[in-house]
Amino acid sequence: MNPADIRQLATDVLAGIAPEADLSTVGDHEDLREALDLDSMDFLNFIIGLSQGSGVPIPESDYPRLFTLQGLVAYLAR
């Protein structure tokens, strides 16, 4: 997946979890959980949706690498 595809996937997954959240307002280095007001269950569902949508398994130990948009894109682009 390229960065644009990953961002679109993240936007699509987020729309199903927190429709009021706008990923376009989040900077690359901001904590997604804080910037989008995601609680722990929302974030977990976000990670699950990203994993399912990308086909990339994301173990719990890697969740901290996905706290920012930059980290999320880097992780899924590998």
Does the domain spanning 3-77 belong to CATH 1.10.1200.10?
yes
Q: Is the pLDDT assigned to residue 78 strictly greater than 90? A: no
Structure tokens at 28: 């690359």
Note the Cα 24 to chain centre separation in Å.
Answer: 12
> What does pTM read for this prediction?
0.91
The alpha-helical segments, DSSP class H, found in 1-78 are: 3-17, 32-35, 40-54, 69-77
pLDDT digits (tens, 9 = 90+) for 19-70: 998 888 999 999 999 999 999 999 999 999 999 999 999 999 999 999 999 9
